Amino acid sequence: MTAEKANEKDRFTRLQEKLAMLPRCTPEEREAFAAEREASKGTMNESAMMLDNGEIAVKTWCHGHDGVIGDGWLQFLPTDDDYEKAKQEYGLNKPGDNYYVIKKWVDGEWVVQEEKRPDKPETGKAKSA
């Protein structure tokens, strides 16, 4: 057996040992995971942050009511025409400010479930959409 073949066997053996140490997925764990996935259908999470250069970075993640999952990024530069509108929408005033919202698809529209705004830190709850 060549040194290369022996080394391959060692890698395979190490992989088997590592996999043997991982937790097993029991029927109960699979059921709990499926329930979590079902509960997350029709939800959208959106976060926005003002960066040091004033740019607003927005990340949206959505688990559609039909089960489709999608995500995307959006940015607003200080030179953009809709920059001031974005600042107001997300409540961002200075670098480091963060915004976060969770929405749920209800009767054909997105309804705010929870919202955290830097301009209203005392409530954490949002106006309904």
Regarding whether 55 and 27 lie in a shared domain, the answer is no
Regarding whether 21 and 9 lie in a shared domain, the answer is yes
Regarding whether 72 and 121 lie in a shared domain, the answer is yes
Please give the residue range of the domain that contains residue 77.
41-129
pLDDT single digits (tens) 1-57: 565 655 566 888 888 888 777 777 788 888 888 888 888 889 999 999 999 999 999
- Do 72 and 95 meet the contact criterion of CB atoms below 8 Å apart? no
Query: Position of tokens 């705010």?
Result: 112
Nearest-5° angle of CA 99, CA 104, CA 105?
A: 135
pLDDT single digits (tens) 60-115: 999 887 778 899 999 999 999 999 999 999 999 999 999 999 999 899 899 999 99
Regarding whether 123 and 112 lie in a shared domain, the answer is yes
The end-to-end CA distance of the chain, in Å, is: 69
Regarding whether 105 and 47 lie in a shared domain, the answer is yes
